[in-house]
Structure 1
Amino acid sequence: MNITQEKIDNLNAVVKINIDPADYQGRVDKAIKDHAKKANMPGFRPGMVPPAHIKRMYGKSILVDEVNNLLSDTLNNYITEQKLEVLGQPLPKVDDTQQYNWDFADKFEFNYEIGLAPEFALDFSSKDKLTQYVIKIDDETLAERVKNIRRSYGKMTNPDVSAEDDVLYAQLTQLSPDGSVFDDGISNTTSVRLEQIQDADIKKSLIGLKKDDDVTLDIQKAYNNDTPKVAAILGIDEAEAADLKSNFKLTVKNVNRLEESDLNQEFFDKLFGEGVVTDEAGFKAKITEELESMMSQDAERKLQNDIYNYSVDKVKFDLPDDFLKRWLKVTNEKLTDEELEGGYNDFAQNLKWTLIENKIIKDNNIEIKYEEVFAAAKQSLDQQFRMYSPTPIADEQLSQYAVQYLQNKENANKVFDEVKALKTLDYIKSVITLDKKDIFYNDFKALAK
């Protein structure tokens, strides 16, 4: 067997593999004998089929399989031995001029295109600067949060006249263009939350209504053409909602109002435990603390995203783009040329980041231990469980779930990659300069869009 590599350029090469009969004959003979031992054929006792008979009937298919297996093993071993850092997977070059008889005497020649990872240097230092935002809670955000919490612990009342934040329990009836009721049209009884109405004039028209009052509602305008919202309000599917042009008659059946809970000791104790908070100032300070703790996660996500973008822009190197595009087409048969061109830049950016990650991990001897992957899996599962129940799961049971979760190879690789990314980001954060900057939450939301 002879293996050679022809360098096309720094990012592309062709590996040529020449195979003689002596290279594959032993594997083929063994495969035929193994097949004979397992064969169950008419006229022969199980396991007693002569190998010559198997060779006559299935020899060519066995030969093809064994040559393919030999090729795969040989190519993988060559890449490992030569320490080639390949991108994607080797692609066989089709040569229509070569014809093989597959008669156990052929010499084979196979060529594989490979894409090579680029060589590049990293030069992160304190001269590289990024902003690390520290989110502060503005009065508007705090007031909205306080209002929502007070309403969560408040009581429902039924006032005579609707106000700005009320909920109208109403009948919605589809109207014809002339304003009459549409025969066999859409009709649904539902709750209309006035705070969700997007159009100011329509919202104003719904304030001051009493039971049995009627108003005409342009539902698409009311919800700013939010198809899922319109579909949910009318009880129809989204396809029908998207094409809907009709106005609706809204008939008030009841006005519901959620009164805010009083700011008293009973309320404070329900929220934070007995005696932890004793007055309104302490209540607002506690809510501010909790909000800023939650918002710190948003700030960290933005910082991570900024580091990602900064890194892939700063570290300059080329990729074997033509090869990678061919590889993506081969491995994704349904991928259209338009989809490939539209999504390739994101793919290339993610690949660049992966190469930067790998180099940082390697150059700095950063270890990723099982204990870290296990802890990350536990944390992720704990967050998922808390979405459905505020009561935390016992640590021992959570550990059992984490063990089961990581037994799935795909899950384990996913968590490993997450830990790897966090370690890479932590390294970059330790090297560059992070300028901390206070910012109000509403300003941060506008910045993060």
Structure 2
Amino acid sequence: MNITQEKVDNLNSVLKINLAPEDYAPRVDKAIKDHAKKAKLPGFRPGMVPAGHIKKMYGKSILVDEINNLLSDTLNNYIDEQKLNILGQPLPKPDDNKEYNWDFADTFEFNYEIGLAPEFDLEFTSKDKVTQYVIKVDDETLASRTKNIRRSYGKMTNPDVSADDDVLYSQLEQLSPDGSVFEDGINETVSVRLDQVKDDAIKASLIGLKKDDTVEFDIQKAYDGDAAKIAGLLKIDEETAADLKSNFRLTVKNVNRLEESDLNQEFFDKLFGEGTVTTEEEFKAKITEELEAMMQQDSERKLQDEIYNYATGKVDFPLPDEFLKRWLKVTNEKLSDQELEEGYAEFSKNLKWTLIANKIIVENNIEIKYEEVFEAAKQRLDAQFRMYSPQPLTDEQLGQYTVQYLQNKENANRTFEEVKALKVFEYIKSIITLDQKEIAYNEFTKLAN
């Protein structure tokens, strides 16, 4: 057996594998004998089928399978031995000029294209600057959060006339183009939240309504074409909601209003525990503190995006693009040419980041320990459980769930990659200059979008 590498350029090579009968015959003979021991054929006792009979009946398919296995082993061993840093996987290179009889005496030659990772220099210094946003709670955000919390602990009332932020318990009927009710159309009893209506004119038409009042409106315009919201309201699938062109008639059955809770000691105690907060000023300070903790996470995510974009822009190197596009098509049969072209820029950017991150890990001897992966998975599960249960799990229970979670290979790999990414970000942050900039949360949300 002989395997050689022919370099096309610095990013592309062809691996040639030549197989003679003596290279594959031992594997094929062993596979035939194994089949003979397990075969159950009429006229033969189990395990007593002659190997020659198996070779006659199934020999060619066994030969193909064993040669494919041998090729796979040979490629992987060669890539490991030569320490080739390949991208994607080797792709068979068809040769229409070669035809084989597959008769156990052929000499085979197989060619494989490989894409190679580029060599590149990587240097971050204090001269590299990335903006780090320090988010401050603005009055608008604080007021909105305060209002939502007070409403969460408030009481439901039923006023005679609707106002902004009310909920209209209504009958929604689909209309025909002539304005009549569409026969067999959508007819649902729904709760329309006025704070979710995007169009100002339609929202204004829903304010000041009483029981049995009716209003006709364009539902796509009302929700700014948000198929998910329309589907949820009308109890239909999103595809149907996206294609919906009809107007709807709304008939008010009841007006519901959630009154805000009073800012009193009973409310403070329910929210923070008895005696923790006793004044409105302390309440606002506590809400501000909680908001800033949440905003710190948003700020960190934004910083990671900034570092990612800066690093992939700073470190410029080519990729074997044409090979990678062929590989993506081979491994994703349903991927259209248009989808490939539209998504390749983002794919190549992510691949560049992966190469940069791997180089940082190797050159700086950064370790990812099991304990770190375990702790990251444990924190993820703790956050998930807290979403559904106010009573936190004990540390022992959480540890048991984490062990089970990481026994799944996909979960373990994903958590490992998350820890690895965080370590890379922390390394870069420790080298470059973070140019801190204060920004109000309402302005930050516009920036983040």
Paired with 1:36 and 1:184, the residues of 2 have a C-alpha distance of: 66
Paired with 1:86 and 1:411, the residues of 2 have a C-alpha distance of: 25
Q: 1:124-162: CA deviations, max 9, x gaps?
A: 111110111111110010001101101110111122222
Task: Determine if the alignment matches structure 1 residue 199 to structure 2 residue 199.
Answer: yes
**Which secondary structure does the structure 2 equivalent of 1:46 belong to?**
coil
- The answer to which of 149-158 and 31-40 deviates more is 31-40
* Structure-to-structure mapping, 1:47-446, within 5 angstroms: 47-177=47-177, 179-182=179-182, 185-446=185-446
Amino acid at match of 2:79: I
For this pair of structures, how many residues does the alignment match? 449
Q: 1:144 to 1:61 in 2, by over 3 A?
A: same
Q: Residue 7 of structure 2 aligns with which residue?
A: 7
- The answer to which of 439-448 and 46-55 deviates more is 46-55
- The answer to which of 296-305 and 172-181 deviates more is 172-181
Amino acid at match of 1:344: Y
Report the TM-score when normalising by structure 1.
0.95
Amino acid at match of 2:299: A
Q: 1:221-278: CA deviations, max 9, x gaps?
A: 3333333333433444444444444444433222221111111111101100111111
**Structure 1 residue 194, shift from structure 2 partner:** 2.1
Paired with 1:201 and 1:218, the residues of 2 have a C-alpha distance of: 11
Q: 1:348-388: CA deviations, max 9, x gaps?
A: 11111111111000000011111111111111122222222
- The answer to which of 250-259 and 319-328 deviates more is 250-259
- The answer to which of 109-118 and 380-389 deviates more is 380-389
Paired with 1:124 and 1:385, the residues of 2 have a C-alpha distance of: 40
Q: 1:332 to 1:179 in 2, by over 3 A?
A: closer
**Which secondary structure does the structure 2 equivalent of 1:351 belong to?**
helix
Q: 1:426 to 1:234 in 2, by over 3 A?
A: same
Paired with 2:170 and 2:384, the residues of 1 have a C-alpha distance of: 36
Paired with 2:259 and 2:212, the residues of 1 have a C-alpha distance of: 23
**Which secondary structure does the structure 1 equivalent of 2:114 belong to?**
strand
**Structure 1 residue 170, shift from structure 2 partner:** 2.3
- The answer to which of 247-256 and 131-140 deviates more is 247-256
Q: 1:342 to 1:178 in 2, by over 3 A?
A: closer
**Structure 1 residue 406, shift from structure 2 partner:** 1.3
Amino acid at match of 2:408: N
Q: 1:48 to 1:420 in 2, by over 3 A?
A: same
Q: 1:246 to 1:57 in 2, by over 3 A?
A: closer
Amino acid at match of 2:443: D
Amino acid at match of 1:193: R
Paired with 1:100 and 1:119, the residues of 2 have a C-alpha distance of: 39
**Which secondary structure does the structure 2 equivalent of 1:8 belong to?**
strand
Amino acid at match of 1:16: K
Q: 1:409-429: CA deviations, max 9, x gaps?
A: 122111111111111111111
Report the TM-score when normalising by structure 2.
0.95
Amino acid at match of 1:256: N
Q: 1:391 to 1:109 in 2, by over 3 A?
A: same
**Structure 1 residue 183, shift from structure 2 partner:** 5.1
**Structure 1 residue 341, shift from structure 2 partner:** 0.9
Paired with 1:227 and 1:28, the residues of 2 have a C-alpha distance of: 58
**Structure 1 residue 167, shift from structure 2 partner:** 1.8
Amino acid at match of 1:382: D
Q: 1:35 to 1:196 in 2, by over 3 A?
A: closer
Paired with 1:103 and 1:240, the residues of 2 have a C-alpha distance of: 58
Paired with 1:401 and 1:207, the residues of 2 have a C-alpha distance of: 50
Paired with 1:374 and 1:2, the residues of 2 have a C-alpha distance of: 45
Amino acid at match of 1:354: T
**Which secondary structure does the structure 1 equivalent of 2:9 belong to?**
coil
**Structure 1 residue 175, shift from structure 2 partner:** 4.4
**Structure 1 residue 182, shift from structure 2 partner:** 4.8
Paired with 2:121 and 2:129, the residues of 1 have a C-alpha distance of: 19
Paired with 2:174 and 2:333, the residues of 1 have a C-alpha distance of: 46
- The answer to which of 256-265 and 232-241 deviates more is 232-241
**Which secondary structure does the structure 1 equivalent of 2:96 belong to?**
coil
**Structure 1 residue 176, shift from structure 2 partner:** 4.9
Paired with 2:246 and 2:97, the residues of 1 have a C-alpha distance of: 67
Coordinate RMSD, CA, aligned? 1.9
- The answer to which of 125-134 and 100-109 deviates more is 100-109
Paired with 2:229 and 2:328, the residues of 1 have a C-alpha distance of: 38
**Structure 1 residue 26, shift from structure 2 partner:** 1.8
Q: 1:180 to 1:335 in 2, by over 3 A?
A: closer
Q: 1:190 to 1:24 in 2, by over 3 A?
A: closer
